[in-house]
Structure 1
């Protein structure tokens, strides 16, 4: 994967730079031969194990913390809202789909999903799904009714 996946290389070099000064030098030299994804920027205090960055093109991750086993798709922005305020905290097993924005000092609970192109400016409880602009939270699938519009393939679909 190191030779074929630029997004993986970028995350690998990020982890090397955070490990030690010697590792940082090795990472810098390796990036000359095998450059990472140039439009993927990772600026986090703490990144848990198992982070997957799928198609890291045009992705900015500036969170306080990213939990274990998170999944981030392309064109995602996770970071500050304006010039002041904190940055997001993502729990474990969070999935962030293409084009989503998570802005400001918000907490995304364990197992939450952020829908494509959603703009999250408020906390998302664990195991909930955030969709829309601004994002609203859908309860866990087991708690939704069968007739819920979110369970239909199309807004005008018959129940």
Structure 2
């Protein structure tokens, strides 16, 4: 009986968010949204649904994904954007996650626990952002540029016109104000390198 009610509530949720498919079918950003869906499904380990079914599940159950979805629609063509503006009044995004509309992200951005998180940056593919992260401007013109496969963990700050290389992990509560090369793990305030190309080190950022 419990499974029956759970399944009924799940199906009801899917039906209620189904209008959000209208801008998806209209948008020029279908390909990148599909890539986002596949990444989130892979992280969660979901199985058995079509990509369209998974999109609906994410829109119903993951408000952080809804923020990202609206951002993708905003970057697309006008017709999808109009529906996005309309539906965003009825289907609320996560209010504690701010994604700057001028930011550009590669496919596969995953946002875990988007509480108190600000993202103002250009970012590559398959990045991962945790809660209470701030990525943004030092002044009106200088904001971070972040590579592929970068993970920025809880409470970290990446500020100003810095470049974060590919395959970088920014440790919890680290503060990054200088460039980070590829294949590194950085921690601390200010951040320094503790692993580089798989080897433990202790190097200052320059």
* TM more than 0.5: yes
Distance in 1 (alpha carbons) for counterparts of 2:152 and 2:180: 12
1:107 is matched with which residue? Answer: 163
TM superposition shift of 1:37: 0.7
Name which of 15, 31, 36 aligns with 2:93.
Answer: 36
1:139 aligned to 195, 198, 204, which one? 195
Cα deviation per residue 1:66-123 (whole Å; 9 max; x = unaligned)?
Answer: 0000000011000112x34410011000000000000011011000000000000001
* Large movers: runs of 4+ above 6 Å: none
For 1:93, which of 133, 137, 149 is the aligned residue?
Answer: 149
Please give the root-mean-square deviation of Cα atoms over the aligned residues, in Å.
1.5
| Partner of residue 119, structure 1 | 175
Partner of 1:61: 119
Separation in structure 2 between the aligned mates of residue 124 and residue 90 of structure 1, nearest angstrom: 9
| Residue ranges of structure 1 left out of the alignment (5+ in a row) | 149-159
What TM-score comes out, normalization by structure 2 length?
A: 0.66
> What is the CA distance between 1:57 and its match in structure 2?
1.0
| Alignment length (residue pairs) | 144
CA distance in 1, matches of 2:115, 2:65: 12
Shift of 1:139: 2.8
